[in-house]
Amino acid sequence: MKAKDNLFQVKTTLNIRGNLVSLETPKVMGILNVTPDSFYAESRADSIDQILKRAEQMLIEGASILDIGGYSTRPGADDISPAEELERVVEPIKSISQRFPEAIISIDTFRAEVAKAAVDAGATMVNDVSGGNLDNKMFETVGQLKVPYVLMHMRGTPQTMKSLVNYDHLLNDILFELDEKCHRLIEHGVYDILIDPGFGFAKTIDQNYEILRNLGLFKRLNHPILAGLSRKSMIYKRLDSTADEALNGTTALNMAALINGASILRVHDVKAATETITLYEAYKG
């Protein structure tokens, strides 16, 4: 399969407001949650000063992208209103974009109105865990905003996804759903698309590992691959530990993701991911 994957012309750049960002060397997306209930407590920040310090540290450690999220998408997370989500994310994005104008800021949301407000505040990328499923205005909105879009695979909602893990054929079903959405995005003028197969979202632990082993298949969509494995239950449950103890396991799976074709690692621990990419580049030769 690897030989065939090399035939696909995967894009190696992102257009960030007219500047082409190369993905020839993989990049790190640092997770910065402005929520009180994200599954990994160390990723949370609740004051502007704390948010700016966390953002600065991630940039120093090698993050190219900062992913700001105001809605927890852990399994079974509480639903919050669009107004509350907006209140959580807009000011942090404004503050980060003013303090660190070189940073690429991603808004982690499935709501079109939040995406628009975030981009108006300084975000330059939209990361949608629902892949457009939870807001039928999202694709049109991103097309109007002219920013890159992370298309993630998920079924249901964060509240229901754990029960939606039955597939006729796991890999083919996910590829088909993502391919159909890629065509719809392009019809709306969205050309900078990142593919996230959605580790942990409407998948069992075994299904997550099947996706990771076959991550290269997603190159068939001709868009760069983003891998979000950081400290997830597929790691700590296999190790009989906790999210707090899952850094070593995360590093191991991030290397597997890079070998299998990931262009961006979405992580809580930027320094470890940056070092993983450095060693991957040495390994690759």
Classify the phi-psi angles of 76: left when phi > 0, otherwise alpha if psi is within -120 to 50, otherwise beta.
left
Give percent above pLDDT 70 in the chain: 93
Mean pLDDT (the chain) is 92
**Is the pLDDT confidence value at 127 over 50?**
yes
The predicted model scores a pTM of 0.92
pLDDT for the residue numbered 4 = 46
Structural tokens at position 40: 């990994």
Decide if 202 contacts 156 (C-beta within 8 A).
yes
**Is the pLDDT confidence value at 275 over 60?**
yes
pLDDT for the residue numbered 61 = 98
The reply to whether 232 belongs to the active site is yes
- pLDDT digits 0-9 by tens, 246-268: 999 999 999 999 999 999 999 99
CA-to-CA distance for 135 and 128, rounded, in angstroms?
10
The reply to whether 146 belongs to the active site is no
CA-to-CA distance for 267 and 274, rounded, in angstroms?
10
In the three-class reduction of DSSP (H, G, I as helix; E, B as strand; rest coil), residue 28 is classed as strand
pLDDT for the residue numbered 77 = 67
- pLDDT digits 0-9 by tens, 192-241: 999 999 999 999 999 999 999 999 999 999 999 999 999 999 999 999 99
Which helix or strand (DSSP H or E) is residue 128 part of? strand 125-128
Average pLDDT in the 156-161 region? Answer: 82
**CATH classification at residue 119:** 3.20.20.20
- What residues make up the domain containing 87? 2-284
In the three-class reduction of DSSP (H, G, I as helix; E, B as strand; rest coil), residue 46 is classed as coil
DSSP secondary structure, 67-110, as one string? EEE-S--STTPPP--HHHHHHHHHHHHHHHHHH-TTSEEEEE-S
Structural tokens at position 196: 């996230």
Task: Give me the numbers of helices (H) and strands (E) for the chain, helices first please.
Answer: 10, 10
Strands 225-227 and 262-267, bridge-based pairing: parallel
Q: Which of 232, 238, 271, 284 is catalytic?
A: 232
Count of domains observed in the chain: 1
> What's the N-to-C CA distance of the chain in angstroms?
21
Residue 27 pairs with which residues in a beta bridge?
Answer: 264
Decide if 83 contacts 47 (C-beta within 8 A).
no
pLDDT band at 2 (very low <50, low <70, confident <90, very high): very low
Classify the phi-psi angles of 19: left when phi > 0, otherwise alpha if psi is within -120 to 50, otherwise beta.
beta
Q: Which of 111, 146, 266, 284 is catalytic?
A: 266
- pLDDT digits 0-9 by tens, 52-84: 999 999 999 999 999 999 998 776 667 899 999
**Is the pLDDT confidence value at 7 over 70?**
no
